[in-house]
Structure 1
Amino acid sequence: MTSIWKSFRSLYFATLLMLIGSGLLSTYLGLRLAADKVDTAWIGALMAANYLGLVLGGKVGHRLIARVGHMRAFVSSSGVVGAAVLGHGLIDWLPAWLLLRALVGLGMMCQYMVIESWLNEQAQASQRGRVFSGYMIACYLGLMLGQLTLVLHPALGLELLMLVALCFTLCLVPVAMTRRSHPAPMQPVALEPMFFIRRVPQSLTTILVSGLAIGSFYGLAPLHASLMGLSTLQVGLFMASCILAGLLVQWPLGWLSDRYDRGALIRNCAVLLTLASLPLAILTELPLELLFPLGFVFCLLQFSLYPLAVAFSNDYVEAEHRVSLTAMLLVTFGIGACLGPLSAGLLMRELGPNMLYAFVSFCAFILIFRVRPDTIKNMQPVENAPLQHVVVPDNMTSSPLSAALDPRVEERTVHEQMQRANPAPEAGDQSAP
């Protein structure tokens, strides 16, 4: 792992800085609007706009990289994100904040695509799993450090927005200083939605529920904690502990996933998540000694759904479709992450802040009846299934290009898809880069 870190430290460090900024921005905006007594529906809408931008960025990023190259795409995206972050401090009109949040999400997805293009092309086949693990650790560590920033600076002034913009500015430095060659541009892969709806409907449902839950949590959990009486410092610690739970569960989850039926694991996880959400949904007052462990257990289960669904879907999809599968899963997650904060925000406005966890409990309850043993038995796994479980980021901190880092995807298959998506220009074609 040391050699992997040395080889890709500049890209990992850029990812770390980006996620510090992103994690801090989401929590800061939630707490800032809560302090200003803004309607919870607006807070949910801001998180929904961020995920909408991430989904749209998957399409825009391919075109931008193909047009101007990886380095220019990364620089321009960082500039847009930094300007949008500072725009939150210059404009108080909430509809404008929706546009700014969408721009942040769009720009960040373009940045993810640049970094993952580099990782994909430079990683050897035998290194892909470890390279992706390092990338995932950088993502989670960045999100946690973003929350812990509130511990060091609990005041909700404009200084935090400046710090977020500083992170997105500094992430340019390691990418600009890398001595690695630029990867070749990639064209968008086909989503093939009907193919995957017929082939892996349970996985797509699980991904959708995961998006509903995680999108709502990141957008509204800081607000819920604040309304429960926690200070800004305590909210930062609470969110950091929850994200830590998401990181710690990944490796034992992989061990279980490789030894037990994944459909049954998803269903059991949904049952436990339904039950774990109930104390948070029912109890209107919780001491810190109870809120922190309940939130930790809640996130252990919540952050298990996405990687289990990814592994489960790969068992039923051939290697040549797995890059398209990743794109489809991310779009499905993004749809859920857009709808979740909006729905939960409206429920919190009408029925109280605890409706955040009641909403997650309801979503998990539906999943119990959607992933059933009788429907799984009718599905036909691919040859050599079940495949090895691979730890993956469980929110929109990756792009469709991350599939090429998955060691379950054959290197030859990825190369062939890249060639089909980006054919060599004919002689005399002046449009070639």
Structure 2
Amino acid sequence: MFALSKRFGTIYFAALLMQLGSSLLMTYLALRLDASGVSQLWGGALMAANALGMVLGARSGYWLIGLVGHARAFVVSAAVIVTAVLTHQLSDGLPLWLSLRFIVGAAMMCQLMVIESWLNDCAPINRRGAAMSLYMVASYVGMMLGQLMLTLGQGLHTLALSGVAIAFALGLIPLALHGGAQPGLISQARIKPMLYLRRLPQSLFTILASGLLNGCLYGLSPIYAAQQGFSPAQVGQFMAISIAAGLLAQLPLGKLSDHLPRIFLIRATAVLLCIAYLPLALGLASDQRWIMLAGAAIGFLQFCLYPLGVAHANDNLEPELRVSLAGVLLMTFGIGATVGPLVAGAMMEHAGPQAMYVFCIGVTAMIACFIRAKRSVDLVVAS
């Protein structure tokens, strides 16, 4: 782990700052909407707009990386994000915010493609699981710090947006100073999602489900907590605890995923997640301490799905396809993160805040059923 940290330390730090800004922005906007009395559906729509930007930004990100290289593509994307974030301060109009969330999502897609393809291209094949786990640790530390920033001063002050812009701008420094291994050039061959769907059906389904679940967590969990009586600072703590638990899971996950079948780990995680959602879905955890404990259990398990799906996909594909694979995986995640908050937000509107976790139980049950049918799926794909 130390060797990987030394080799990719600047990349990990850039990812940390990027996720700090993204996490703070998502929760700040969700709380602003809830404080204004806007329906949960709008909260889901903002998250969906961000995710839709990620989906449609996959092709432009692939084109930009191929045109100017990984580092310059990251710089261009950061400039776009900083501009869009600061524009939020000009108006509270929801149509403008939806447009800005779309732009931020598209630019962040390019940044994620840069970092993930960089790591997967340069990490030794027998250490890829560990490399991705350290990346997730850096990402979750950034997300956790972003949530904790809400506890400073006035949680809903517009200065939070300046903090988001500063985080994205600072993220340029470590990536620009990276002096280690550089990813190879990529071709401008057209991305063919059907190729990956035929060859990696289970990885893509895992990533899609992770998008459904994480889209709800980032976009709707702050609203759920606020409706349980949490203050903005307590909402930040609730989110930070969930993310910190996900962080704690990454190091043991990296070791396990390099020694046990990743498919087995995905299925086991999905089954345990179904159980972890039950207290919040059934309203059994009414005290704030129990809600935070349940959030920690969910975060510990839920944040394992994405790195497992990514590592499993990269194990089964040629190296020259990894940049386009990163785009397809992130696009798949974005589709899930677009649909999840919209569906769960509508359910919350009609059945109460706990309906979000009922939706999450349904998603994890589908993961367990789909992965259990591995041999059947392989036979269908082969035919």
TM-score calculated relative to the size of structure 2: 0.86
1:205 aligns with 205
Q: Which residue of 1 aligns with 2:64?
A: 64
More helix by share: 2
Shift of 1:213: 0.9
Structure 1 residues 329 and 62, CA gap change in structure 2 (3 angstroms): closer
Q: The residue matched to 2:46 in structure 1 has which SS? A: helix
> Cα 1:377–1:322, aligned 2, differ >3 Å: closer, same or farther?
farther
User: Alpha carbons of 1:90 and 1:51: their partners in 2 closer, same or farther (altered >3 Å)?
Assistant: same
Structure (1 or 2) with the larger CA radius of gyration: 1
> 1:191-228 deviations in whole A, cap 9, x for unaligned?
44334434443333332222111111111101100111
Inter-partner Cα distance in structure 2 for 1:126 and 1:265: 18
State the secondary structure of the residue aligned to 2:378: coil
Q: By how many angstroms is 1:341 displaced?
A: 0.8
Instruction: Report which stretch shifted further, 29-38 or 12-21.
Output: 12-21
Alignment pair present for 1:110 and 2:110: yes
1-structure distance, mates of 2:313, 2:127? 23
Any idea what SS the aligned residue of 2:353 has?
coil
Please tell me whether the aligned partners of residues 209 and 336 of structure 1 are also in contact (alpha carbons under 8 angstroms): yes
Q: 1:196 to 1:221 in 2, by over 3 A?
A: same
Q: Within 5 Å, give how 1:121-270 maps onto structure 2.
A: 131-178=131-178, 185-188=185-188, 191-257=191-257, 262-270=262-270
Residue identity (%): 49
Residue 92 of structure 1 aligns to a residue whose secondary structure is coil
1:288 offset after TM fit, Å?
1.9
Residue deviations 1:336-360, cap 9 Å, x none? 1110011111111122111111110
User: Residues of 1 paired with 2:369 and 2:52: CA distance?
Assistant: 28
Partners of 1:204 and 1:54 in 2: CA distance = 16
Find the aligned partners of 1:361 and 1:113 in 2 and give their Cα distance.
29
1:86 matched to 2:90:
no
Q: How far does residue 83 in structure 1 lie from its aligned partner after superposition?
A: 1.3
Question: 1:379 maps to what in 2?
Answer: 378
The 8 Å contact of residues 59 and 188 in structure 1, kept in 2 or not, is answered as no
**Number of matched residues?**
378
2:209 and 2:311 map into 1 onto residues whose CA distance is 16
CA distance in 1, matches of 2:172, 2:326: 27
Q: How far apart, in 1, do the equivalents of 2:20 and 2:53 lie?
A: 18
In 2 relative to 1, CA 313–40 (structure 1 residues): closer, same or farther, beyond 3 Å? Answer: same
Alpha-carbon distance, 1:327 to partner: 3.9
C-alpha distance in structure 2 between counterparts of 1:250 and 1:150, whole Å: 24
| 8 Å contact from structure 1 (residues 145, 240) kept in 2 | yes
> Would you say the 8 A contact 2:14–2:174 is kept in 1?
yes
Gapped regions of structure 2 (runs ≥ 5)? none
SS in 2 for 1:37: coil
Q: What residue ranges of structure 1 are gaps of 5+ in the alignment?
A: 381-433
- The CA deviation string for residues 294-319 of structure 1, in whole angstroms up to 9 with x for no partner, is 1111222222333333455566x354
- Paired amino acid for 1:281: A
Report Cα offsets for 1:63-106 as digits up to 9, x if no partner: 23444455543333222111111111111111111110111122
In the TM superposition, what is the alpha-carbon distance from 1:271 to its structure 2 partner?
Answer: 2.8
Q: 1:280 Cα shift?
A: 0.5
TM-score (norm 1): 0.77
Change beyond 3 A, Cα 1:187–1:257:
same
- What does the per-residue CA deviation read over 1:357-387, in whole Å, with 9 as the maximum and x for residues that have no partner? 11101222233333335x426738xxxxxxx
Alignment partners' CA distance in 2, 1:6 and 1:260 = 26
Q: Is the 8 A contact 1:284 1:354 kept in 2?
A: no
Q: Which amino acid aligns with 2:46?
A: L
Q: CA RMSD in A?
A: 3.1
Deviation of 1:244 after TM superposition, in Å, equals 1.5
